Structure 1
Amino acid sequence: MNEQHTPEGWYQDGQDPTVDRWWDGTRWTGATRPRVAPGAPPVGQPATVVVAPEPPKKRHRVRNAFLLVVGVIVLIMIIQAATGGDDETPATASQEDGGEAEGDAGPGIGDPAEDGDFTFVVESVEDGPERIGTDAFGTSPQGRFVYVTITVTNHGDEASSFFGDNQYLVDTEGRKASADTEAALYLPESQSLYEEINPGNTLTGTVVFDIPADAVPAAVELHDSLFSGGVTVGLS
């Protein structure tokens, strides 16, 4: 090999094959480096660095799912706190048998019946008028109005809200009617739309129901809140 025409660059050292020595085009210099492995890029060209893709960041998906579950739990707690819900129903009536506990006919008109923080006493049940309110401002039933007068006592430790909309009337055919909120608007003495009752206080109000003209009321299902178990009071 004519060394005069050898281009400058790194070449394997003839005395130490584990290193390369720098040829400046005319002579060998004292510069050395570890021997370049086979397949390495030519001298003077940068090596291509291949970066492996990062694995999917599962932590973010797990964290987002956890936050979603926590949010749902907090929302349920807020709803229960706002409605004063108590899912436990006292043993004054059984929900599975329509209010009749074994060996007991269950509470009826004039009997106390508890649900959550409320003690209910159904005072009376009677047919309402053909129209509630005036000709200009009032409403008529689809079937017929029934008035259920109820005394409600808060036996809990904090204020709770009584909603007529949380109460139901069941007829002898098992049909369950919700309270008629619009009709209660035109009944000043109703006191069943929304009333907050402080601990130890008692309220008497009339809940209005619109039931079929030929329906026979059999029981009322009373609740201290939207999500409570409720208690059934017989009307016969």
Structure 2
Amino acid sequence: MHDNPQNQAPYGYAQPYPQTVIVQKKGGGCLKALLIGAAVLVVLVVVAVLVGGGDSGSGVGSTSASAPQRETSQEDPAKTAGVGDLVKDGKFSFKVTKMEKGLSKVGQGFAASKAQGQYVMIHLTVTNIGDEAQMFTDSAQKLIDDKGREYDADSGAAILLDDSNAFLTNINPGNTVKGFVLFDVPKNTKLTAIQLHDSVFSGGVTVNLS
């Protein structure tokens, strides 16, 4: 006997719809979970970027602003030479040996010169350390007070004195000349330094007088 085809479904036709429904339910759940996870991840990334960017920006700003200030404040100023120290500028080396101040006049008789304020005499030794002759002149030298004011040398009064060697003295290589530079400055002026130059065009070197 053969079964009635109308009463018996062929194999494989009995479960198509439940299987299809189950697959659709699983697929929909995974897709929803993936969308939720992606949204959460995007939110976390945005929050992390905003928070991290603010922190790093403020951190970098504070570091870049403070580090140079610390370096600048911790730098030691260059030590300035004093009386008796050997200094160099261009073709000359200098050594300031003494400072005299409070002189009301220099010279004798008709050759005497009276100071407007007071004469200050800077004694020094000048050596030519170059390979050719160089002219030393007092007009290139500057005296400085505690307010930063600069004073020119009084060449007219200096030439009245013997052995000043300050006005247009030519010094050959290897030779040394001793002399002084004369300045006329106000009384009670606090002098702090002298700038010595091998010429009016040189950078100069500072010697502390205080």
State the TM-score, normalizing by the size of structure 1.
0.55
Contact preservation (8 Å) 2:102, 2:187: no
Q: How far off its partner does 1:103 sit?
A: 4.3
Aligned match for 2:172, one of 198, 205, 225: 198
Contact preservation (8 Å) 1:128, 1:147: no
Q: Does 1:160 align with 2:150?
A: no
1:84-125 Cα distance to aligned partner (Å, 9 max, x none): xxxxxxxxxxxxxxxxx9443221111111110101111111
Number of the residue aligned with 1:106: 80
SS at 1:136 equivalent: helix
1:129-176 Cα distance to aligned partner (Å, 9 max, x none): 321122322211111000000111111000101001111100111111
SS at 1:193 equivalent: coil
Contact preservation (8 Å) 1:171, 1:219: yes
Residue identity in the other structure for 2:95: V
Partner Cα separation in structure 2 for residue 102 and residue 186 of structure 1: 44
Q: Does 1:228 align with 2:199?
A: no
Residue identity in the other structure for 1:178: D
SS at 1:130 equivalent: strand
Number of the residue aligned with 1:216: 190
Alignment of 1:174-193 (within 5 A): 174-193=148-167
Do the aligned partners of residues 203 and 156 (structure 1) sit closer, same or farther apart at CA in structure 2, a change above 3 Å counting?
A: same
Partner Cα separation in structure 2 for residue 176 and residue 201 of structure 1: 29
Larger Cα-atom Rg: 2
Alignment of 1:1-236 (within 5 A): 102-127=76-101, 129-236=103-210
Residue identity in the other structure for 1:125: M
Partner Cα separation in structure 2 for residue 233 and residue 125 of structure 1: 12
Residue identity in the other structure for 2:160: Y
Which sections of structure 1, spanning at least 5 residues, go unmatched?
Answer: 1-100
Partner Cα separation in structure 2 for residue 228 and residue 209 of structure 1: 20
Residue identity in the other structure for 2:194: V
Which sections of structure 2, spanning at least 5 residues, go unmatched?
Answer: 1-74
SS at 1:182 equivalent: helix
Contact preservation (8 Å) 1:166, 1:224: yes
Kindly, what percent of the aligned residue pairs are identical? 43
State the TM-score, normalizing by the size of structure 2.
0.62
Q: For this pair of structures, how many residues does the alignment match? A: 136
Partner Cα separation in structure 2 for residue 102 and residue 196 of structure 1: 38
1:20-53 Cα distance to aligned partner (Å, 9 max, x none): xxxxxxxxxxxxxxxxxxxxxxxxxxxxxxxxxx
Partner Cα separation in structure 1 for residue 148 and residue 196 of structure 2: 16
Partner Cα separation in structure 2 for residue 166 and residue 135 of structure 1: 29
